[in-house]
Amino acid sequence: MAKVRSAPGGPRTPRPVLPAATSGRGGPLGYLRGVWEELKKVVWPARQELARMTGIVIATVIIFAALVGGADYLLSLGVKQAITTQASSATPTAAPAATAVPTAQPTVAPTAAPTVSP
């Protein structure tokens, strides 16, 4: 038969049952009381520790913003290069011909010089 191990420190004590949980009718006021009781249990950081942690968060945000911004800039340069290379290879490289404007003057065919008989 398998041996069952128990948690260190002996058996657990049962959790206390909250009054709102048993009746099912805490309502908004009971909820806010529970929130207030839980907030009393919170250990808030000292001002110096809070300032240090805030500085770490701000520095981390700035570093990651610089990394993402740099990656975005480099990728946009690559995409622009790919688009301009693709567009220039798709169009003919010859210079466009100058468009001639038709004129209303008739063209005259050259005539032969008159010949003189002796």
- Domain ranges, ordered by start, for the chain: 45-88
Spatial contact of 37 and 30, defined as CB atoms under 8 Å apart: no
> What is the distance between the alpha carbons of residues 85 and 71, in angstroms, rounded to a whole number?
21
Q: What are phi and psi of 8, to 5 degrees?
A: -65, 145
The pTM of the whole model exceeds 0.75: no
Along the 118 residues of the chain, how does pLDDT read in single tens digits? 566 666 666 677 787 776 655 555 678 999 999 999 999 999 989 999 999 999 999 999 999 999 999 999 999 999 999 898 887 776 665 555 556 666 666 666 666 666 666 6
